[in-house]
């Protein structure tokens, strides 16, 4: 049987979504809990396969990550969800579980992903783990103008640490929208897929534009010719959330 899991998590204590040796991940934590639920329910371990829609980096959060789970169980989805949540740590929560067709794949079936980055204009006692506090005054209008340059089909090789020479660095960005609510600036980006650290480097460069240290011409040059400059301005993971996966 195959299930679709809707998951929210605070990524502060984790090395990211993907299982890794010698570090704690979201995927491994949930998988271990599912094993525990099956052992309690059936008195034995069962084989499972849990796959996410994509990796989130160390310290990055999710309002709604999607994963598919391949397993055998007689538990109804709502009971299954309740039993999993009872065993999960407080910073991971299963929002919903649906039965899906066997050909549904959390990553391959996805049409686009959407992230939101939160910048705080002030020091905050409650949200330090979930924002990037920038002390400088940011020119939002300049940032909005620069954001439009990232939309469309572009080569983002200047905005990622390339791990595999065979991996394409071209990405279709459907939209990049900047708005503000009180002291919070939200940078929302929707794209076909994302490269490692791509969103955080885009945000870092947009912050430099807002500070007046860069302009639209700089961004155009980064998109036309490879440069290592954006890596110097990589935004911290604390403000980044996977917001939505579209199918």
CA neighbor of 185 nearest in space, from 230, 231, 139, 245? 139
CA neighbor of 155 nearest in space, from 174, 168, 140? 168
Distances (CA, A) of 175 to 113, 135, 139, 216: 11, 27, 20, 17
Q: Which two tokens stand for residue 215?
A: 């302009």
232 CB-side CA count, 13 A = 4
Contact 37, 87 (CB under 8 A): yes
Helices marked H in 90-182 — which ranges?
140-147
> Cβ of 94: how many Cβ atoms within 10 Å?
21
57 among known catalytic residues: yes
Catalytic residue among 10, 49, 57, 136: 57
Q: Which two tokens stand for residue 163?
A: 């791990």
Distances (CA, A) of 246 to 54, 115, 118, 240: 12, 12, 21, 18
How many angstroms separate the CA atoms of 236 and 203, rounded?
Answer: 10
> What residues act catalytically?
57
């Amino acid at each position: 049987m195959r299930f679709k899991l809707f998951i929210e998590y605070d990524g502060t204590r984790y090395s990211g979504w993907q299982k890794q040796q010698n570090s704690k991940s979201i995927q491994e934590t949930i998988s271990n809990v599912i094993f525990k639920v099956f052992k309690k329910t059936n008195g034995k371990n069962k084989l499972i396969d849990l796959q996410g829609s994509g990796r989130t980096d160390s310290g990055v959060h999710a309002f709604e990550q999607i994963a598919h789970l391949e397993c055998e169980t007689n538990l109804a989805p709502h009971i299954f969800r309740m039993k999993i949540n009872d065993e999960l740590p407080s910073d991971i929560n299963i929002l919903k579980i649906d039965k899906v067709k066997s050909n549904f794949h959390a990553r391959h079936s996805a049409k686009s992903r959407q992230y939101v980055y939160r910048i705080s204009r002030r020091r905050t006692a409650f949200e330090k783990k979930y924002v990037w506090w920038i002390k400088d005054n940011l020119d939002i209008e300049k940032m909005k103008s620069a954001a439009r340059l990232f939309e469309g089909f572009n080569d983002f090789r200047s905005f990622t640490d390339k791990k595999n020479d065979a991996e394409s660095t071209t990405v279709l960005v459907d939209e990049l929208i900047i708005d503000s609510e009180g002291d919070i600036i939200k940078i929302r980006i929707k794209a076909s897929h994302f490269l490692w650290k791509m969103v955080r480097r885009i945000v870092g460069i947009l912050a430099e534009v807002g500070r007046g240290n860069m302009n639209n011409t700089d961004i155009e040059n980064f998109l036309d010719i490879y440069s290592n400059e954006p890596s110097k301005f990589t935004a911290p993971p604390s403000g980044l959330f996977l917001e939505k996966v579209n199918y």
